[in-house]
Structure 1
Amino acid sequence: MLPLTYLPHQTANDWLGGCDSEKFAELVTQFLAELHSLKASGNLPKLLLVEPDPIRFLARFIAACSANYPVFLSNPGWVKAEWEQVLSLVQPDLIWGEADRVTCSLPAFPDISLKNLTPSLTTESHHAQSGWIMIPTGGSSGKIRFAIHTWQTLMAAVQGFQQYFQTNQINSFCVLPLYHVSGLMQFLRSFTTGGNLVIVPFKAIEREMREIDPAEFFISLVPTQLQRLLHDSHSSDWLTQFHTVLLGGAPAWAELLQVARKHQIRLAPTYGMTETAAQIATLKPDQFLANQSHCGKVLPHARITIWDANLPLGANQLGQITVQADSLALGYYPEPGFGETFRLDDLGFLDEQGELHVVGRNNDKIITGGENVFPIEVEAAIRATECVADVAVLGLNDRHWGQVITAVYIPKNSAISADSLRLALSDRLSKFKQPKYWIDVKSLPRNAQGKINREQLRQIAVDWLATRSTDPASE
């Protein structure tokens, strides 16, 4: 079904919490008329959607999809360097929405707002097919890319979600950014299944707690958000009432999951990414509360296999995670190229029951003294000491060990030192897995989804190391 097909039914249902659903429909009609006027003049511009208001963002998005225009979703909060990167890659014909957010920060860039459309740019820029929906992803590197989706790939993800959770109508309480796949898919699940949608900035979540019956809603959180809500008894009690609390965006640590179980949160840890239109494996809440800790079964619209080089592996054999899915993106803009199979950098295994276990990223793996160490395991052990507010682990090059394990951490209080952390960790990890360097910082470079920017993290560690003369081989 096409996007506009759902609009009359949803408008009659008054589905959009905190907003007049008829007003939303009027906005879609208004924005669609703008696009039709452009099409009538023979133009098919690439749209860079820049809209901080969530309702107007969604109305523009539905209009663009209905008109079959190629649309690039963007983060209105990007800074100058990020806008330069995006504009160089996309070379949009039209910045649709608040163009001033871009053009004012880049005065040398031509005005490509609606009132001054310059379609000649398309002759020198990458081509974009009609119907492409480009969703930004920064991964762990911080370099912005756009995964090429279509209405069909996004709908495949919605249908897989419906089947897996055995629900026809999906109500969503959204605190995640709509330009990101995690927020966008919450909107699409509700909009296309006749569900209700409440959109609330995470900072304002306490103000909106009484507005809905949580028992009828799904809410999606990243681990750092869950941690913050569990620290407050009022918000943790509120979370217990949700039908399901989806958790994704970044790996969760064991201590956080145990606290969630203690509060009887109906948590559903998920595994997915922008390239797969969000989750492709999910642990159901009843399994989570039964003390299971993995990523659950694969959703109906996807298939996961584990490979070692060019050989598929059997149950409980560790290898590279490979995905086939109806929701799989076509590739990264400007070139489709994924085909039917997407080989990930993540390492994991499927057990006898077909449950997915993720060990870590191959590129993040640290090889120290010939031993393989995964940061996720070391980070979990450090968090379990309850001495840090946050931590990220990486490997730094070293002439003696190949790499040395380095922990960049935020201490919980001023009494926490590297020595106290070493002592607290001594009986939790084998010696070769324990960090040689400990770097005390005020904050870690995480994005809105909780993912660490690995390039920035490495730069923090390199800069710190440059101030020291200690040889880790002597420690």
Structure 2
Amino acid sequence: MLDLGSTFIQSVERNPNAPALVADEKRLTYAQWFDIIKTVAGGLEERGIGHGDHLLIVMQNRWEMATVHWACQMLGVIVTPLNWRSKPDEIDYCLADSNAKIIMYDDSCIEAVREAKNVSNIGIIAVGDTLPGSHRFEDLLAATPIDGVSRATAEDFSLMLYTSGTTGKPKGVPRRHRHERAAALAHVAQNLYACGERTLGVMPLYHTMGVRSLLSMALIDGCFVCMPRFDVEQALTLIEREGVTNLYLVPTLYHDMLSHPRFPGTDVSRVRKLGFAGAPMSEALLRRLDKAFSPDLFVNHYGSSEVYTMAITQNARTKAGCCGRAAINCRLRVIQLGSDNPDSLVNAMEEGQIIAHLDGDEAFEGYWNRPDANQKSLIGRWYFTGDIGYYDADGELFVSGRVDDMIISGGENISPVDIESVISLHPAVDEVAVAGIKDERWGHRVVAFVKRQASVNAEELDRYCRSTDLANFKRPREYVFVAALPKSPVGKILRRKLVSGEYEIDANCEPAINLAN
């Protein structure tokens, strides 16, 4: 298999004048971008980083970050990106864990980098404002270019993402060039991308979705329309102005676009393919998107940093919440909750833990420096995802939550996603998240946290739930009306913050009340 550096060269040779990158006023063809990538690679090499070393990057989705990603693929350097909102102790931990030779940062995280203790021990490169001792990115652009031959092989590590670390320290997920290329090829195939597609590059390049958008465009001589951070108005401008043909976003970003007053007047007609991942999409949002875009293809992608594509459906509109079937590079099973036996399969419509086989082309081989995590999650050549799901009568997969999010109330296992799907369809509900709050009698009580778009109270929502086919024991016993739902930088709802009370109450609503059983 080709390495990723050679993959980019392939696109340059095949279609050198094709548009490759749009960022602010910068517009580069593949040939022009490759010249810059070779020069940046030469500059990195002059600063002492080479094959097998880690380069820690803490930046927004700037064109410089995309350029450095490709330069590292040419050198065989391991791209190790972090969330630009990372705190100093997180930067210190990841620097030490990866043994990075250089850190590259931009203005968005300059204070955190300034306070990180381990930064003074390694090379520092700044994009924008600089800290004392930093080299500038512009210095790399003045370096002697490397030749146009990749230094990497398919067996070299390409990338190491850090998991979010919601419990304990974040875990490094190293992925080889062949893992990353297989995942990008599968992404192209399963999203039916054609030559010359144009995508909105707004999903963070420290997240597997962002990396996949970057790599997949190179495979099809496509254009990466770079957007440093999500802003609804700017996103709508870029979609219209640049003729974006496909979108691959988390549900939250779709929700925000549809809710913006500029959306009805924006020409989105060239967007023919929609894809989403990272979190379940409510049935209400699915319907709104289908009406707004009328896409030719509507993909629900279920995956992870560890095994990029696990399941996929190319017609998400037909079954809300359905992830379809195992992806082309993956084998999946659903096994009994609490079991560590990969053969303890559940029946159709029975919830269990989702596991993925590690022999798949996209599957990682184990966590970085974390034998404890490997022992917990890698069992008998299977990766235990920590996700709960089930197969329906048609053999299609539904993901119903995380093992840690499962609500056990009165001895019953209750999935938050099932309840959210029902409540989201109420016309007064903008967004909803359900969590289990400790209760002396029930163990946990089901609580719905609702962001409203019209006036509604708890009694009305309770009557609505009673009118649906939602089982009575799953009904929320309490509604909390919030100003906004707490979310991660990539739009995942943070249930742990709801449980711990880290949210802002909607000032225009009644106090929460407990409802009769």
TM-score by structure 1 length? 0.83
Preserved CA contact (<8 Å) 1:76 1:101? no
1:439 to 446, 462, 480: 480
Preserved CA contact (<8 Å) 1:408 1:461? no
Aligned counterpart, 1:207: 237
Preserved CA contact (<8 Å) 1:296 1:355? yes
Partners of 2:393 and 2:410 lie apart in 1 by 33
Aligned counterpart, 2:3: 2
2:356 to 320, 323, 341: 323
Aligned counterpart, 1:367: 408
Aligned counterpart, 1:258: 287
Partners of 1:80 and 1:39 lie apart in 2 by 24
Please state if 1:358 is matched with 2:399: yes
1:273 to 287, 292, 304: 304
Aligned counterpart, 1:32: 41
Please provide the CA RMSD for this pair: 3.5
- Change in Cα spacing, 1:38 to 1:305, as seen in structure 2 (3 Å) is same
Preserved CA contact (<8 Å) 2:239 2:268? no
Within 5 A, what are the aligned runs for 1:9-408? 9=13, 11-18=16-23, 19-21=27-29, 22-39=31-48, 45-52=53-60, 54-80=62-88, 82-87=90-95, 89-90=97-98, 92-98=100-106, 100-106=110-116, 110=120, 112-114=122-124, 131-138=157-164, 144-165=170-191, 169=195, 171=197, 172-200=199-227, 201-203=229-231, 204-214=234-244, 217-231=245-259, 235=263, 238-239=267-268, 241-263=270-292, 264-265=294-295, 266-277=297-308, 279-284=309-314, 287-290=315-318, 294-308=322-336, 309=339, 310=341, 311-313=344-346, 316-324=349-357, 325-335=360-370, 337=374, 338=378, 340-351=381-392, 354-408=395-449
Preserved CA contact (<8 Å) 1:140 1:452? no
CA shift at 1:245, angstroms?
0.3
Preserved CA contact (<8 Å) 2:96 2:118? no
Is 153-162 or 197-206 further displaced after alignment?
Answer: 197-206
TM-score by structure 2 length? 0.77
Partners of 2:74 and 2:414 lie apart in 1 by 48
Preserved CA contact (<8 Å) 1:142 1:455? no
CA shift at 1:20, angstroms?
2.0
1:423 to 435, 454, 463: 463
- Give the partner amino acid of 1:3: L
Give the unaligned 5+ runs of structure 2. Answer: 126-132, 135-154, 506-511
CA shift at 1:296, angstroms?
1.7
- Change in Cα spacing, 1:114 to 1:231, as seen in structure 2 (3 Å) is closer
Q: Deviations over 1:197-223 (max 9, x none)?
A: 222353211222333444xx3211211
Preserved CA contact (<8 Å) 2:163 2:173? yes
Report SS of the residue matched to 1:456. Answer: helix
CA shift at 1:323, angstroms?
0.9
- Give the partner amino acid of 1:4: G
Preserved CA contact (<8 Å) 2:91 2:113? no
> Percent identity, aligned pairs only?
22
Partners of 2:503 and 2:259 lie apart in 1 by 33
